[in-house]
A and B are shown apart, each in its own frame.
Chain A
Amino acid sequence: MLKVENLSTNFYTFRGVVRAVENVSLELEKEEILGIAGESGSGKSTLAWSIMGMVPPPGRIVSGRVTIDGVEVTRLSDTELRRKVLWKKVSMVFQGAINALNPVYTIGYQLAEPFIYHTGLSKKEALDKAKSLLPMVGLSEEIAKRYPHELSGGMKQRVVIAMALALEPTVVIADEPTTALDVVVQAQILNLLKKLKREKKLSFILITHDLSVIAEMSDKIAIMYGGQIVEYGTSEQIFNNPLHPYTRALLRSIPRLRGPIDKLQYIPGEPPDLISPPRGCRFHPRCSEVMDICRDREPVLVDTGEKHLVRCWLYDESWKKRG
């Protein structure tokens, strides 16, 4: 369905080259949700933009391939990309998208736009089509006549989701879809996404810094740190048997609602500067289990069995053998 192979994206800034995404590979199957978790600056949003082929300047995809439904997105021109791929095969619910609704157009018109431009429907047909999308996301058709300022945050988020689903794409990328919302509304939106996944057999890439939301939704999880995937596995593997010291520390830092109150752990130090990342493993300055080799050589992703990948020397036997 969706395949990302060795994707790297750089930003060329005055201060130097920012390696925002480095050598990322992942796969998404039908009716599957892949969660991408990481802190601010870990490259998760840039990864999403790269998959869409819409990296904003001064950023550029420097290597790697993205294939969606057999079409190699990374080789298309901008025009081809817009005509054939965006919104039809892959669409995105952007971070803070509720603020991206145009305040001077009605919800119905904004929902109708993709139909007018992509399928060549007349304005009236498109509007009817737009209306029919609203019940799918739990809104009444009457909302089509309203303007964005008349809706609550949760309703706007539903509209934005409806927009992303308008042309029935195979993959939807949701970048922090619930971050600005209150918990009750967040739960409703997450329920909606679960329902859509089941009923429409949709595939999602869910990007968030909130591990609880990731757990709530994802079948597979990729943990990103400093532009790289450091651990990749099924939801159960990541949460029940985290391997990378970063993942472990991250999981110990979340306050929980139930169970014993253990002392919360934190990760000392700061995320790496991606213009001049630390030598060796990018996490080594903050790692509690750092070894000599970590300061010197960069680890690669190794499979520890059952497709549970981790980028850490603790699990890579190859260097020991070579001495």
Chain B
Amino acid sequence: MAMENGNILEVEGLRVWFPIRRRLSELIARKPPRYVRAVDGVSFNVKRNETFCLVGESGCGKTTTGKALLRLVPISGGSAYFQAREEILEELSRRGIKVGDDGRVDIFGIPPSKMKPLRREIQMIYQDPFGSLNPRYKIGAILEEPLKIHNLHLTRDEVEDLIHRVLEEVRLTPPEDFVDRHPHQLSGGQRQRVAIARALILKPSLIIADEPVSMLDVSIRAEILELMGMLKEREGITYIFITHDLAVARYICDRIAVMYLGRIVELGDARRVIEDPKHPYTKALVAAIPEPDPRNRLRIRNVPIKGEIPNAANIPPGCRFHPRCVAYDENRERLGERCRVEEPPYFTVERGRVVSCWLYEHFS
């Protein structure tokens, strides 16, 4: 019943545009509405049981993409076909949602009010373990809440058993010690493990993790990453891992998509992309990352990029990266005015690796 290509999720042309309130003068002059194009035509596939990474700087649309998959932001366009479990599909058809014969369902085709069954399949882990847990709830209650919301008809004993099992799974042992504590009594790392446990308790197949280790101390980051890796192996979980940290991405991701101003500019095998970046933006990003080598202090780091990131309400025409692109200046003769007028499509530069840059046109 699985999708033949082994994809759990196929996102095509996702757009999230936030309208900007028009001024009275604009309304009178009948000016067209303007938008902040947070996500502007993003397409990618996620294979079952892989860790797929979305990386980019703040404001590139990586978090919005993640939220869109859970319908936490209004969708302006696109489709996202998801391969759900049998029971979830049944639940969805009972609610009058059309499910394809191949067991795929378009997340963006479901009205938000009928999304609930799907949320058992797709869960999210947030960046801030201090803000994402209700301070007035005990850990036990925090973990019980999803079970209540999804009304799984469990007995008291079953619920307790489930909570204990999931706490053991995230290594908060012995579980009895933790169920009656409040979030403020836990360290940052422990809290993030509670957040992971809360996501796990519904046995989802896809977890969207939004910067899950950025707020944690370095010495415990690796522990959380390892835990997530272990759960991937054991529970067959698929991750969409959102991060700004390319070094972290290199360690835990199978494939990586680099985003800039609402669009994916390069996508491919994580190690290949980071070790041999092709898109001028990826090159700049990799060049900018400090490394723990004391010799670095003697040199000025050369980051091949100009200017500042433009506003998402005012995306440059043509290739959206061209005003900051150093390669564009260097290859002006070859590229001509193209970068300024025409948005580059995706060129396949090697197997499974696409780059959206006119420099690689000869690969088409």
Contacts and interface: CB of A to CB of B under 8 A. Distances in A.
Most-contacted residue by chain A among B246, B274, B287, B301 (CB, 10 A): B301
A191 B288 CA distance: 10
A56 B290 CA distance: 33
Interface stretch (B12-20, B90-98, B147-155, B219-227): B219-227
B275 interface: yes
A253 B218 contact: yes
Interface stretch (A65-73, A96-104, A214-222): A214-222
B173 interface: no
B175 interface: no
Contact of B221 (A154, A236, A266): A266
A184 B293 contact: no
B223 A261 contact: no
Most-contacted residue by chain B among A219, A236, A240, A255 (CB, 10 A): A255
A256 interface: yes
Contact of B251 (A212, A217, A240, A261): A261
A63 interface: no
B285 interface: yes
Given A187-B301, A239-B294, A253 B222 contact: yes
Contacts of A239: 292-294
Interface string A243-276: 0000001110111111001001111101100000
Contacts of A290: none
Most-contacted residue by chain B among A182, A218, A251, A267 (CB, 10 A): A182
A235 interface: yes
Most-contacted residue by chain B among A183, A195, A234, A265 (CB, 10 A): A183
A182 B243 CA distance: 11
Given A187-B301, A194-B300, A256 B226 contact: no
Contact of B247 (A154, A195, A255): A255
Interface in B195-233: 217-223, 225-226
A229 to B, nearest CB: 17
A298 interface: no
A256 B217 CA distance: 16
Contacts of B301: 187, 190-191, 216
Interface residues of A, number: 50
Interface size class of B (residues with CB under 8 A): 35 or more
A152 B220 CA distance: 31
A194 B225 CA distance: 33
Most-contacted residue by chain A among B289, B292, B293, B303 (CB, 10 A): B292
A258 B275 contact: yes
Interface in A204-220: 209-219
B146 to A, nearest CB: 27
B250 A235 contact: no
Contact of A210 (B57, B58, B290): B290
A184 to B, nearest CB: 5
A140 B286 CA distance: 28
A40 B300 CA distance: 29
B222 A183 contact: no
A270 B218 contact: no
A235 B305 CA distance: 29
Contact of B288 (A184, A195, A256): A184
Interface in A172-211: 182-184, 186-188, 190-191, 194-195, 209-211
B289 A253 contact: no
A249 B223 CA distance: 12
B291 interface: yes
Interface of B: 57-58, 187-190, 217-223, 225-226, 244-248, 250-251, 271, 274-275, 284-294, 296-297, 300-301, 303, 305, 308-309
Interface of A: 33, 39-40, 152, 154-155, 182-184, 186-188, 190-191, 194-195, 209-219, 234-236, 238-240, 249-251, 253-258, 261, 264-268, 270-271
10 contacts: A187-B289, A194-B300, A212-B289, A219-B297, A239-B293, A253-B219, A254-B247, A256-B247, A256-B291, A257-B246
The 5 closest A-B pairs by CB, nearest first: A264-B222, A235-B294, A266-B222, A187-B288, A212-B290
